[in-house]
Amino acid sequence: MPLEIERKFLVKGAAWRALVGESGRWIRQGYLCRDPQRTVRVRIYGEEGFLTIKTEGENISRDEFEYGIPSAHASELLERVCLRPLIEKIRYRIPWGRLTIEVDEFHGENSGLIVAEVEFPDAHTVLEPPDWLGEDVSLDLRYRNSQLAFRPYATWK
Amino acid sequence: MPLEIERKFLVKGAAWRALVGESGRWIRQGYLCRDPQRTVRVRIYGEEGFLTIKTEGENISRDEFEYGIPSAHASELLERVCLRPLIEKIRYRIPWGRLTIEVDEFHGENSGLIVAEVEFPDAHTVLEPPDWLGEDVSLDLRYRNSQLAFRPYATWK
């Protein structure tokens, strides 16, 4: 069973941009189901299409089932079938010790939001956080992408 | 774009059983999303697992996106993630002229219900119906599997 242990942080300032070695990759995604017990996500990541089911685990662990699908299907599902609004963001990967910090810079209706995600190989690995990592929002449901596709950042003010 | 033109009928009597050349195949399925605009189905058909997205078309045509997944994943999704109740049925395939009639005999909470489905290659193909085909219920939403997984046949009386 694929298990995901992930923490999510707000990003402070722009210092992280100096650490980005590669250009970011464009992500476009939408949801067929936003129920936290069983979200179903359609994603185009670069040129690849994915269908992903996530289900609620305890605390910060979630089960994830991910399948590659033809990007033409993903594109059609996003255009015609997924709930609105879609999520659009650029993902940057920053190596950090033995871990990788993924910084997501949102666009569209979530423009202005920048969050960092760290996936841990196990529950014992420790992150030495860089200065630009802000508040831990792992348990704040508003920052879930499935929720940002329902109540986008632009509507929070 | 995969397009599905399908009609669904009630089955009268037991004459159809004499036409079944092969043993039926057990189907177990459940739903991650029952919204008619975007149903997401997990199915185990014999030994194979599938993830299928159907979206509303006009009248009896629906778009369908189907992907094979490991049957162990399908099994875990059915056990732990899908909405209740699950659908259990045996499917029999009966060749009928150039078409195939699929008879679904439901079990579990939909026990007693037997329906026949015919998939047409195009909108012009005509079915010469056998005597045991009853009322056309193609447009009766109650007979959709996604609805039978919500309001099973046993609760109709």
Q: What is the pLDDT of residues B16-40, one digit of tens each?
A: 999 997 789 999 999 999 988 899 9
Which of B1, B38, B77 is closest, CB to CB, to A65?
B77
Give the pairing of strands A87-96 and A99-106. antiparallel
Which of A1, A32, A35 is closest, CB to CB, to B53?
A32
pLDDT of residue A1: 45
Catalytic residue among B31, B45, B92, B143: B31
Chain B residues with beta carbon closer than 8 angstroms to that of A150: none
ipTM: 0.84
pLDDT of residue B58: 56
- Cβ–Cβ gap A33/B37 under 8 Å: no
pLDDT of residue B22: 74
Q: Is the pLDDT of residue A125 over 90?
A: no
C-beta separation of B10 from B134 below 8 A = yes
Taking CA A86 as the corner, what is the angle to CA A85 and CA A92, rounded to the nearest 5 degrees?
140
Q: How confident is the model at residue A23 (pLDDT cuts 50, 70, 90)?
A: confident
Smallest CA–CA distance from B81 into chain A, residue: A38
pLDDT of residue B51: 98
d(C-alpha A141, C-alpha A157), whole Å = 17
Q: How confident is the model at residue A59 (pLDDT cuts 50, 70, 90)?
A: low
- Cβ–Cβ gap B37/A82 under 8 Å: no
Rounded average pLDDT over A75-94? 96
How close does chain B come to A137, measured CA to CA in Å? Answer: 25
How close does chain B come to A84, measured CA to CA in Å? Answer: 13
Smallest CA–CA distance from B82 into chain A, residue: A38
Catalytic residue among A31, A45, A67, A92: A31
C-beta separation of B129 from B55 below 8 A = no
Total CB pairs under 8 A between chain A and B: 53
pLDDT of residue B1: 45
* Per-chain mean pLDDT for chain A: 91
pLDDT of residue A4: 66
C-beta separation of A150 from A34 below 8 A = yes
How close does chain A come to B137, measured CA to CA in Å? Answer: 25
For residue A154, the SS3 value is: helix
Taking CA B80 as the corner, what is the angle to CA B75 and CA B86, rounded to the nearest 5 degrees?
70
Which of A35, A67, A80 is closest, CB to CB, to B67?
A67
Rounded average pLDDT over A14-32? 93
Chain A residues with beta carbon closer than 8 angstroms to that of B63: 80-81
Chain B residues with beta carbon closer than 8 angstroms to that of A76: 1
Active site residue A67: no
Which of A51, A82, A83 is closest, CB to CB, to B67?
A51
Per-residue confidence in pLDDT tens, chain B, 157 aa:
455 688 999 999 999 999 997 789 999 999 999 988 899 999 999 899 999 999 976 555 668 999 999 999 999 999 999 999 999 999 999 999 999 999 999 999 999 999 999 999 888 888 999 999 999 999 999 999 999 999 999 999 7
φ and ψ at A35, to 5 degrees? -55, 120
How close does chain B come to A116, measured CA to CA in Å? Answer: 28
- Cβ–Cβ gap A80/B53 under 8 Å: no
- Cβ–Cβ gap B1/A76 under 8 Å: yes
pLDDT of residue A22: 74
d(C-alpha A149, C-alpha A36), whole Å = 13
